[in-house]
Copies of this chain bind each other. A is one copy, B any other.
Amino acid sequence: MVENPDDKKTIAFVVYPGMTPLDMLGPLTVLDGMATSVPGYRTVVVGETTDPIATDNPLRIAASHTFEEVPSPYALLVPGGAAPTFKALADEKLVGYVRKAAASAELVTSVCTGSLVLGQAGLLEGRRATTHWMFRDLLRAFGAEPVAERWVVDGNVITAAGVSAGIDLALHLVERLAGAEVARTIQFVVEYDPAPPLGPLDWSNPPYKDVKPLLDLTLSEALSGEPALRDKLLAHTGG
Chain B residues whose C-beta falls within 8 Å of the C-beta of A112 in the assembled complex:
191
Check if A184 is an interface residue, CB within 8 A of chain B: yes
A60 contacts partner chain B, Cβ-Cβ < 8 Å: yes
A29 adjacent to chain B (CB < 8 Å) = yes
Inter-chain contacts of A29 with B (CB < 8 A): 20-22, 57, 163
A20→B29 CA distance, assembly (Å): 8
Q: Indicate whether A190 sits within 8 Å of B162 (C-beta atoms), given known contacts A44-B58, A61-B60.
A: yes
Q: Which residues of A contact B (CB under 8 A)?
A: 13, 20-22, 24-26, 28-29, 32, 43-45, 52, 56-64, 112, 132-133, 150, 161-165, 167-168, 171-172, 175, 180, 183-185, 187-198, 200-201, 206-207
Q: List 24 A-B contacts (CB under 8 A).
A: A13-B59, A20-B29, A25-B25, A28-B57, A29-B57, A29-B163, A43-B57, A43-B58, A44-B58, A45-B59, A52-B62, A58-B64, A59-B62, A60-B61, A150-B193, A150-B195, A163-B190, A163-B191, A164-B191, A164-B193, A168-B197, A172-B197, A187-B196, A193-B200
